[in-house]
């Protein structure tokens, strides 16, 4: 019943106890995230628009945090995105097999007004920069499931950089420069 | 309109990676007993206890005030547990103060703690959520991109963060309670330390510490009669904003600016750099000093780094506005306690009780805490005078 | 001391499993209804917001942070949180109003307990060195307490069944209740024992949902032109954690909190008590010194639906409803936390004086 182990010092005193905690949770995504995930399974990236401020959120969580109202309208987003910011991670992430160093970026997909985090790969880490254009690289279609990891990573796209003040405002039709 | 209240006792544990000699109850009691002793009070003199700490997953104890009742002499008294993520130590102090400022109680004990060696804080912070990409690389991974944007905007030289890392550890070497004792630290050593989340290096990051901090806050009558100088609470403020929304200013968050404006107004501060003598500010990664110098109005936007590079925030360089003379979060970080440590260290300064890290003649001090995605802020201003 | 009033209360339905519904989706509908009731647009229109919730219910650190996304916190708001039932968030809010830093406050609590096994999650509230590694769940502890009460002859199984029956019947008038019906004492006694000596019906269900309240100074309530009820007294008290050192057949802390709140200063027409187990309702009723002139748990109480972290706030709201609805002039609301009624809060709520 209990996995508790005790630590005992040379005098026989109990100095510590290891008592692992195992709790099982049946996690459910919310209604808005579920719609987002269902679309992802079909290879489509979507956001939701706030009826009050018109901003498009991705991944959608069911509300516009600024206005405090539910978001309903689904908006299809592009597979292209802009790097809003990034970091080069040199330590492993617990529970993730990915090998450092790797780039984690805040990316704003065309058509959305907020960034989400994802990997950048197929790139020279030191050349990643703010305003850089990038494109999603998806897993093979037969592997698509309900998760953001249907997108393996974003890779650099040969398009002109987006000026900083325009990041988060590129329409879904894209960016010409 | 609020009643006057003051800090009349402070107790802190020595911060260290792992306190193997005490249980969680022992840890909080050590700080609490220290505060009572400083205030020359007994457990019976305390009307209520207010506890604060960060997520319970850091120790694996759900709602620990339930287990800690006895350790904190609370059997038969009111007990409250505040949780506002990383700013919790600060907001706990504010909630405790409100118990007295509202006229409801005369003397309260407040304790903030973390015994994060008991669980795995990195795991608790980056606990993978189903359906999301598992890329949450801990707090540093979250803040690194924001720091990068600050560097781009301000054009600050690459070594500003390194300077802060050195300064705060040198300060910490004056504070026997600080976790990291590095009187020998150099700019070279910091620069050569391992890069974790570019641009944050290992030695530019806070340690992971066990520790507890406690204060006794009392009403005016009691504080006037207290055995040691009280630290009068001259301003209290909290602000929150959402983690993410379109157009959110992440480098210089609005909630931080609004919170500072509120607390300054209450304390009659119009020029923080001139009016304050010292500040204890939550800087867990070195670059947050120049960023908060701007956010808190000590420097114009884009110029916070200049104050750092000039030595304005350094005790050792006789700066005019020392920041984190205690060593700050960069020297000790029991997450749930860190906010309260800032508030308590600010109080120590105006009580003239900060030992080797005392800013001479300090009369007015700022205590600051922040948490979450730089979205929760708690601040107070304390003074040697009632104001 | 400044007079503080309740001006609005809303609760979602108590459901066993809210399914695909995240924190924000649980909270927004309740807040929208409350804003409508009180005549405000969002959290910008109150001076302070405070919430109650527990990360471990959902198994995610910082779950409460998601709740902030429901508020419309741009521009930034004054907001705080307790990792406790929202009744304590209401307490924190009252202090803020009393000190003059706010004239109104929005308080909410939410519960998404269905993902985990709640009684087992709560076993980790216990002393981490001596008790938690034994994984004693809350239901077992309550059963221990019930056994004590029965063996000492303080209560009978019939008494417990009466509490259940009254709860289910009252709950028929509560549109948010999870368990309601014409259940008789005999029906309950006919049930098999679930965890001796408790029957399934003696134990509250696990419910998902949210609850919210707006409080304000009486001046503000009048300015808003809203029907209100006054919180004339409030206090809370915690007892020792060690079950063996407490008298589990009584609730000393409820008694003390009630005394400090002035519960006995007048007739108590209605009492909403946070009793997750039938025998605990009897313990609380006696600790509060209530007699049969008091209507206890007319909402059905927590046995009819238990929003962990919000049920305490709901008890306060349910008393408010009955007072502004004209059914009662004075009432007591109670909230509890911790194993076997370790921590208790009592609020006394009264009808507004004629302006």
Residues of chain A found within 8 Å of residue C123, distances taken between Cβ atoms:
none
Closest CA of chain C from B244, distance in Å: 9
Q: Which residues of B touch A (CB under 8 A)?
A: 20, 60, 122-123, 126, 128-137, 141, 144-146, 148-149, 152, 194-200, 242-248
Count of alpha carbons within 13 angstroms of residue B322, beta-carbon side: 28
Cβ–Cβ of A25/C116 closer than 8 Å? Answer: yes
Task: Judge whether C43 is closer than 8 Å to chain A, CB to CB.
Answer: yes
Which residue among B57, B75, B84 places its CB closest to the CB of C80?
B84
Residues of chain C found within 8 Å of residue A2, distances taken between Cβ atoms:
133-135
Q: Is C243 helix (H, G, I), strand (E, B) or coil?
A: helix
- pLDDT score at C2: 85
Q: Contact at 8 Å (CB) between A88 and A115? A: no
**Based on the number of CB atoms within 10 Å of its own CB, is A140 exposed (0-12), middle (13-18) or buried (19 or more)?**
exposed
Q: Which residue of A has its CA nearest to B24?
A: A16
Task: Judge whether C355 is closer than 8 Å to chain A, CB to CB.
Answer: no
- pLDDT score at A1: 43
A2 has a pLDDT exceeding 60: no
pLDDT band at A94 (very low <50, low <70, confident <90, very high): confident
The mean pLDDT values, 10 residues at a time, for chain B of 387 residues are 95 96 95 98 98 92 95 97 92 98 98 92 74 77 95 97 98 98 98 96 97 98 98 98 93 98 98 98 98 98 98 97 98 96 98 98 98 93 96
Which residue, among B26, B119, B128, B133, would best test binding to A if mutated, counting the most A CBs under 10 Å from its CB?
B133
Q: Name the residue with higher pLDDT: B353 or A95.
A: B353
* Three-class SS of chain B: CCCCEEEEEEEECCCECCCCCCCHHHHHHHHHHHHHHHHCCCHHHCCEEEEECCCHHHCCCCCCHHHHCCCCCCCCECEEEECECECHHHHHHHHHHHHHHCCCCCEEEEEEEEEHHHCCHHHHHCCCCCCCCCCCCHHHHHHHHHHHHHHHHHCCCCCHHHHHHHHHHHHHCCCCCCCCCCCCCCHHHHHHCCEEEECEEHHHECCCCEEEEEEEEEEHHHHHHCCCCCEEEEEEEEEECCCCCCCCCCCCCHHHHHHHHHHHHHHCCCCHHHHCCEEECCCCECCHHHHHHHHCCCCCCCCHHHHHHHCCCCCCCCCCCCECCCCHHHHCCCHHHHHHHHHHHHHHHHHCCCHHHCCCCCCEEEEEEEECCCCEEEEEEEECCCC
Cα(C267)–Cα(C93) distance, integer angstroms: 27
The tens digit of pLDDT for each residue in C161-175 reads 999 999 999 999 999
Task: Judge whether B23 is closer than 8 Å to chain C, CB to CB.
Answer: yes
Q: Is A142 helix (H, G, I), strand (E, B) or coil?
A: helix
Cβ–Cβ of B137/A93 closer than 8 Å? Answer: yes
Closest CA of chain A from C108, distance in Å: 14
- ω into residue B101 within 30 of 0, thus cis? no
**Based on the number of CB atoms within 10 Å of its own CB, is B97 exposed (0-12), middle (13-18) or buried (19 or more)?**
buried
Cβ–Cβ of A23/C58 closer than 8 Å? Answer: no
Q: Is A138 helix (H, G, I), strand (E, B) or coil?
A: strand
**DSSP H/E element including A18:** strand A14-18
**Helical axes B138-154 vs B288-295, angle rounded to 10°:** 60
Residues of chain C found within 8 Å of residue A61, distances taken between Cβ atoms:
22, 24, 66, 69
Query: Which residue carries 């406690």 as its tokens?
Result: B214
Closest CA of chain B from C139, distance in Å: 16
Cα(A109)–Cα(B219) distance, integer angstroms: 55
Cα(C159)–Cα(B328) distance, integer angstroms: 59
Return residues 106-125 of C near A (CB < 8 Å).
114-117, 120-121, 124
The tens digit of pLDDT for each residue in A35-50 reads 999 999 999 999 999 9
Closest CA of chain A from C8, distance in Å: 19
Query: Facing residues of B365 across strands?
Result: B278, B382
Neighbours of B183 (CB within 10 A): 9
**DSSP H/E element including A149:** none
Q: Is A57 helix (H, G, I), strand (E, B) or coil?
A: strand
Chains in contact with B, where contact requires at least 3 CB pairs less than 8 Å apart: A, C
The tens digit of pLDDT for each residue in A131-162 reads 999 999 999 999 999 998 899 999 999 999 99
Cα(B171)–Cα(B163) distance, integer angstroms: 12
* Three-class SS of A95-121: CCCCCCCEEEEEEEECCCCCCEEEEEC
Chains in contact with C, where contact requires at least 3 CB pairs less than 8 Å apart: A, B
Chains in contact with A, where contact requires at least 3 CB pairs less than 8 Å apart: B, C
Cβ–Cβ of B76/C56 closer than 8 Å? Answer: no
Reported pTM: 0.96
**Helical axes C252-261 vs C278-287, angle rounded to 10°:** 50
Residues of chain C found within 8 Å of residue A6, distances taken between Cβ atoms:
none
Cβ–Cβ of B246/A113 closer than 8 Å? Answer: yes
Task: Label residue B40 left, alpha or beta by phi (over 0 means left) and psi (-120 to 50 means alpha).
Answer: left
What are phi and psi for residue B121, nearest 5 degrees?
A: -65, -40
Cβ neighbors of B115 (< 8 A, separation 6 or more) are B19, B24, B27, B58, B59, B210, B334
Neighbours of C152 (CB within 10 A): 9
pLDDT band at A98 (very low <50, low <70, confident <90, very high): confident
Which residue, among A17, A69, A81, A91, would best test binding to B if mutated, counting the most B CBs under 10 Å from its CB?
A91
Cα(A89)–Cα(A102) distance, integer angstroms: 5
A88 has a pLDDT exceeding 90: yes
Which residue, among A15, A22, A30, would best test binding to C if mutated, counting the most C CBs under 10 Å from its CB?
A30
Our CA dihedral for B308, B310, B316, B322, rounded to 10 degrees, sits at: -50
- CA nearest neighbour of C339 among C271, C261, C245: C245
Strands (E), chain C: 4-11, 48-52, 79-82, 104-111, 193-195, 198-199, 209-217, 229-238, 270-272, 295-296, 330-337, 343-351
Q: Is C235 helix (H, G, I), strand (E, B) or coil?
A: strand
Cβ–Cβ of B247/A15 closer than 8 Å? Answer: no
Q: Which residue of A has its CA nearest to B146?
A: A85
Residues of chain A found within 8 Å of residue C133, distances taken between Cβ atoms:
2, 4, 17, 19
A4 has a pLDDT exceeding 70: no
Cβ–Cβ of C134/A69 closer than 8 Å? Answer: no
Our CA dihedral for B144, B147, B149, B155, rounded to 10 degrees, sits at: -140
Burial track C83-100 (b if 16+ CB lie within 10 A, e otherwise):
bbbbbbbbbbbbbbbbbe
Residues of chain A found within 8 Å of residue B246, distances taken between Cβ atoms:
53, 55-57, 66, 113-114, 168
The mean pLDDT values, 10 residues at a time, for chain C of 355 residues are 94 95 93 97 96 90 85 96 97 98 98 93 94 94 98 97 98 97 98 97 97 98 97 98 95 98 97 98 98 97 97 98 97 97 98 77
Query: Facing residues of B109 across strands?
Result: B49, B216
Residues of chain C found within 8 Å of residue A70, distances taken between Cβ atoms:
25, 28
Strand order in the sheet with A73-76: A56-57, A46-49, A73-76
Token representation of residue B49: 């206890």
**If you count them, how many residues does chain A have?**
177
Residues of chain B found within 8 Å of residue A53, distances taken between Cβ atoms:
246
- pLDDT score at B150: 97
Q: Contact at 8 Å (CB) between A137 and A122? A: yes
Q: Contact at 8 Å (CB) between B42 and B9? A: no
Cα(B135)–Cα(C228) distance, integer angstroms: 49
Cβ–Cβ of B245/A55 closer than 8 Å? Answer: yes
**DSSP H/E element including A76:** strand A73-76
Cβ–Cβ of B239/C78 closer than 8 Å? Answer: yes
Residues of chain A found within 8 Å of residue B131, distances taken between Cβ atoms:
27, 29, 33, 37, 146-148
- CA nearest neighbour of B135 among C60, A119, A156, A106: A119
Question: What is this model's ipTM?
Answer: 0.96
What are phi and psi for residue B191, nearest 5 degrees?
A: -65, -35
Return residues 41-100 of B near C (CB < 8 Å).
55-57, 59-63, 65-70, 74-85, 91, 95, 98-99
Token representation of residue B124: 């608790």
């Amino acid at each position: 019943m209990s996995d508790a182990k005790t630590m005992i010092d040379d005098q026989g005193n109990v100095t510590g106890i290891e008592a692992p905690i195992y709790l099982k949770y049946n996690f459910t995504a919310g209604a808005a995230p579920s719609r987002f995930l269902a679309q992802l399974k079909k290879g489509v990236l979507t956001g939701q628009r706030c009826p009050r401020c018109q901003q498009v959120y991705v991944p959608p969580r069911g509300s516009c945090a600024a206005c405090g109202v539910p978001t309903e309208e689904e908006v299809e987003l592009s597979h292209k995105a802009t790097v809003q910011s990034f970091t080069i991670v040199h330590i492993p992430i617990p529970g993730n097999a990915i090998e450092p160093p790797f780039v984690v970026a805040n990316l704003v997909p065309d058509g959305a007004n907020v960034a989400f985090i994802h990997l950048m790969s197929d790139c020279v880490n030191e050349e990643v920069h703010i305003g850089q254009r990038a494109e999603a690289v998806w897993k093979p279609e037969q592997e698509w499931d309900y998760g953001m990891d249907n997108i393996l990573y974003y890779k650099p796209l040969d398009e002109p950089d987006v000026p900083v003040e325009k990041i988060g405002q590129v329409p879904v039709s894209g960016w010409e420069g | 309109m609020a009643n006057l209240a003051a800090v009349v006792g402070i107790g802190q544990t020595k911060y260290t990676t792992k306190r193997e000699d005490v249980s969680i109850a022992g840890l909080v009691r050590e700080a609490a007993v220290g505060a009572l002793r400083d205030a020359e009070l007994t457990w019976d003199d305390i009307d209520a206890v207010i506890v604060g700490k960060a997520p319970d997953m850091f120790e694996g104890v759900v709602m620990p005030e339930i287990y800690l009742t006895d350790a904190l002499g609370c059997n038969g008294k009111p007990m409250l547990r505040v949780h506002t993520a990383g700013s919790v130590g600060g907001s706990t102090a504010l909630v405790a103060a409100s118990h007295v400022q509202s006229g409801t109680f005369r003397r309260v004990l407040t304790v903030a703690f973390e015994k994060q060696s008991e669980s795995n804080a990195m795991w608790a912070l980056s606990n993978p959520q189903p359906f999301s990409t598992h890329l949450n690389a801990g707090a540093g991974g979250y803040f690194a991109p924001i720091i990068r944007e600050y560097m781009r905007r301000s054009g600050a030289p690459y070594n500003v963060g390194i300077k802060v890392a050195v300064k705060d550890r040198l300060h910490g070497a004056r504070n026997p309670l600080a976790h990291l004792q590095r009187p020998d630290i150099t700019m070279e050593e910091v620069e050569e330390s391992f890069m974790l989340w570019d641009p944050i290096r290992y030695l530019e990051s806070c340690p992971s510490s066990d520790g507890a901090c406690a204060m006794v806050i009392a009403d005016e009558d009691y504080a006037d009669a207290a055995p040691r100088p009280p630290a009068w609470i001259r301003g209290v403020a909290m602000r929150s904003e959402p983690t993410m929304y379109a157009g959110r200013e992440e480098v210089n968050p609005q909630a931080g600016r609004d919170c500072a404006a509120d607390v300054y107004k209450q304390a009659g501060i119009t020029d923080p750099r001139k009016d304050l003598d010292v500040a204890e500010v939550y800087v867990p990664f070195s670059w947050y000093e120049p960023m908060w110098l701007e956010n808190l109005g000590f420097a114009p936007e884009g110029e916070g780094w200049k104050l750092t590079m000039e030595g304005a925030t350094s005790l050792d360089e006789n700066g005019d506005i020392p920041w984190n003379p205690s060593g700050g979060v960069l020297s000790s970080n029991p997450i749930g306690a860190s906010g309260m440590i800032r508030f308590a260290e600010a109080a120590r300064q105006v009580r003239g009780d900060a030992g080797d890290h005392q800013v001479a003649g300090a009369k007015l001090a700022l205590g600051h805490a922040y948490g979450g995605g730089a979205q929760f802020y708690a601040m107070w201003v304390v003074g040697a005078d009632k104001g | 001391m400044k007079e503080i009033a309740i001006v609005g209360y809303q609760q979602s339905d108590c459901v066993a499993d809210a399914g695909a519904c995240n924190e924000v989706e649980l909270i927004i509908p309740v807040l929208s209804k409350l804003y409508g009731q009180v005549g405000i647009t969002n959290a910008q229109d109150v001076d302070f917001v405070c919430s109650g919730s527990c990360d471990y219910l959902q198994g995610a650190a910082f779950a409460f942070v998601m709740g902030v996304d429901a508020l419309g916190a741009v521009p930034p708001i004054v907001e705080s949180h307790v990792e406790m039932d929202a009744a304590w968030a209401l307490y924190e809010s009252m202090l803020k109003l009393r000190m003059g830093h706010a004239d109104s406050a929005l308080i909410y609590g939410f519960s998404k307990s269905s993902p985990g096994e709640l009684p087992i999650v709560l076993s980790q509230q216990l002393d981490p060195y001596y008790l938690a590694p034994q994984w004693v769940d809350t239901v077992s502890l309550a059963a221990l307490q019930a056994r004590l009460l029965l063996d000492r002859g303080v209560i009978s199984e019939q008494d417990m069944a009466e509490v259940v029956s009254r709860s289910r019947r009252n709950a028929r008038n509560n549109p948010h209740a999870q368990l309601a019906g014409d259940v008789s004492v005999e029906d309950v006694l006919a049930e098999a024992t679930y965890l001796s000596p408790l029957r399934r019906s003696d134990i509250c269900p696990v419910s998902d949902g949210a609850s919210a309240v707006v409080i304000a100074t009486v001046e503000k309530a009048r300015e808003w032109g809203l029907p209100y009820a006054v919180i004339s007294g409030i206090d809370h008290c915690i007892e020792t954690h060690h079950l063996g050192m407490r008298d589990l057949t009584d609730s000393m802390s409820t008694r003390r909190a009630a005394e400090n709140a002035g519960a006995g200063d007048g007739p108590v027409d209605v009492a909403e008590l946070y009793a997750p187990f039938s025998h605990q309702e009897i313990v609380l009723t006696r600790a509060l010194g209530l007699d049969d002139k008091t209507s206890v748990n007319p909402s059905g109480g927590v046995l009819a639906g238990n929003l962990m972290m919000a049920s305490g706030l709901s008890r306060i709201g349910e008393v408010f409803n009955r007072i502004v609805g004209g059914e009662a002039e004075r009432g007591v609301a109670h909230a509890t936390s911790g194993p076997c009624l370790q921590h208790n809060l009592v609020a006394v709520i009264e009808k507004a004086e004629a302006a």
